[in-house]
């Protein structure tokens, strides 16, 4: 199973493009799946998922209780903002302005691997998130 592991720094260029770290690009290309971005429901960051994970999320919500309003709200929150990203030959994609505003992205960013997906954070917010996460286990 290919996974998104580790953390990498990057930038948003003048054309609002980000270059996905080569380790993450390799995981994406080895999967041969579509790649999606959406606003995190937990943090002020962006989440990147492969289509198999999106399918798994939908299936698990449908299996719990298809008629649940709570599950419907979760599906609406994720799927209504879900966007497929097109990665160019140099491993870059454009981050739309509304996603940059939501996640407070500036020029410097950090990619944080989460196993089956990865997140894109504004650099200082992401570093702080990593610090807080580590402190929770001391």
Three-state secondary structure call for residue 98: helix
The per-residue pLDDT for 62 is: 77
- pLDDT tens-digit profile of 79-96? 899 999 999 999 999 999
Strands 17-19 and 46-50: unpaired
Residue pair 128/17 in contact (Cβ under 8 Å)? The answer is no
Picking from 23, 18, 26, the residue whose alpha carbon sits closest to that of residue 7 is 23
Q: Tens digits of per-residue pLDDT, 26-38?
A: 999 999 899 999 9
What pLDDT score does 124 carry? Answer: 98
Task: Note the pLDDT of residue 58.
Answer: 83
> What's the whole-number mean pLDDT along residues 53-61?
87
Look at residue 1 in the predicted model and tell me its pLDDT.
59
Summarize pLDDT for 7-26 with one digit per residue, the tens.
999 999 999 999 999 999 99
Q: What is the mean pLDDT of residues 98-112?
A: 97
Mean pLDDT to the nearest integer, 119-131: 98
- Helix residue ranges per DSSP H, the chain: 22-31, 51-65, 69-79, 97-103, 123-135
- The yes-or-no verdict on residue 57 having pLDDT over 90 is no
């Amino acid at each position: 199973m290919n996974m998104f592991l580790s953390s990498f720094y990057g930038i948003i260029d003048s054309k609002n493009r980000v270059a996905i770290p080569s380790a993450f690009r390799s995981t994406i290309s080895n999967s041969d799946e579509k790649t999606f971005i959406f606003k995190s429901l937990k943090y002020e960051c962006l989440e990147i998922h492969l289509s198999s994970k999106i399918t798994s999320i939908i299936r698990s919500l449908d299996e719990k209780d298809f008629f649940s309003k709570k599950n419907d709200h979760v599906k609406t929150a994720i799927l209504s903002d879900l966007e497929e990203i097109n990665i160019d030959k140099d491993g870059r994609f454009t981050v739309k302005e509304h996603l940059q505003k939501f996640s407070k992205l500036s020029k410097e960013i950090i990619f944080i691997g989460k196993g089956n997906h990865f997140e894109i954070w504004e650099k200082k917010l992401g570093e702080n998130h990593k610090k807080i996460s580590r402190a929770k286990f001391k």
